[in-house]
Amino acid sequence: MSDASINASMIREDDASFGDYFALLKPRVMSLVVFTAFVGLMAAPVGVHPVIGFCAILFIAIGGGASGALNMWWDADIDQVMKRTKSRPIPAGKVDKGEALSLGLALSGLSVIMLALATNVFAGAFLAFTIFFYVVIYTMWLKRATPQNIVIGGAAGAFPPVIGWIAATGSMTVEPWLMFALTFLWTPPHFWALALFMRNDYDMADVPMLTVTHGRRSTRKHILVYTVILAAFAVATAFTGVGGPIYLAVALVLNALFLKGAVQIWRRDEEICEADNFKVERSFFKLSLLYLFLHFGAILAEALLRPYGFGGW
């Protein structure tokens, strides 16, 4: 048929726009991936050509986006019952599941191959492992199987600085794993705070979040315990190769605030929370976003100042 006219039955008012396909890549998660991978790349003790550095960050971000699309493909059933996710492109009826799968697979292949070509094979392989970990280990297997889903899933989100470091150096040392651990330990309190005030979402979706399986009291205890471990680790990182006085100052202030928030959450009961609409939990969640951004920002500042004789100890 050479006529390009549109049959009335083909017209869908909710036909996907370019932005809907972009939304499949979870742009907000991608921004975290871009930033932490950039810090990993910049903190590495090897200079990288700006074009190669740009390509490395771009392909790590595309790999992260591909994981997001594959996650939305697999989780389409639970996304449509959760308030937080039901406006995503698949549950909103704008993009078919098959399209999300195709886009995710195509971008996974593209990002891994291009990262390997632009930097080194080790970095490409590590990106492939990260996508596999997030999609298969977390999304397909553990998310619906264990209340520790967030803890293990946090590892996938923590890999980007390691990939950035490997992209620059081609090898693995302990420093990128310190950045990994920072994000890994930060993820549980961040998501459990969200689960506390988005309370009915996970119940309805039948996802075994800690709030559902062990109760809200236990979740509050878990937030406190993880925050104590995170705070000790985050401050100790100041005395390692990626830390320095700027990082130490930032870590001391932020961890004091984060610990204060965690203690408040632990002491609160549900009646008080209902009365103030989870005010403390919401501000703890907002603080957690700033917490991660400023810790990585401080690591970046130390790395950028090091060539000028500042930064580091």
Residues at the contact surface with other proteins, assessed by CB under 8 A: 3, 5-6, 11-12, 15-18, 21, 49, 51-52, 55, 58, 117-118
39 vs 56, beta carbon nearer other proteins: 56
* CA–CA distance, 4 with 173 (Å, rounded to integer): 58
* CA–CA distance, 64 with 21 (Å, rounded to integer): 14
66 vs 223, beta carbon nearer other proteins: 66
Q: CB of 38: closest distance to other proteins in angstroms?
A: 17
* CA–CA distance, 210 with 219 (Å, rounded to integer): 6
* CA–CA distance, 270 with 47 (Å, rounded to integer): 52
Q: CB of 96: closest distance to other proteins in angstroms?
A: 14
Scan for tokens 């979706």, then name that residue.
205
Q: CB of 258: closest distance to other proteins in angstroms?
A: 39
Q: How far is CA 293 from each of CA 36, 58, 182, rounded to the nearest angstrom? A: 8, 19, 11
Q: CB of 285: closest distance to other proteins in angstroms?
A: 33
120 vs 255, beta carbon nearer other proteins: 120
Taking the alpha carbons at both ends of the chain, their separation in whole angstroms is 71
* CA–CA distance, 145 with 105 (Å, rounded to integer): 24
Q: CB of 19: closest distance to other proteins in angstroms?
A: 8
Task: Return all residues near 160 (Cβ < 8 A) that are at least 6 apart.
Answer: 32, 33, 36, 37, 40, 60, 64, 130
Q: CB of 52: closest distance to other proteins in angstroms?
A: 6
| E-state strands within 18-129 | none
18 vs 308, beta carbon nearer other proteins: 18
108 vs 219, beta carbon nearer other proteins: 108
53 vs 261, beta carbon nearer other proteins: 53
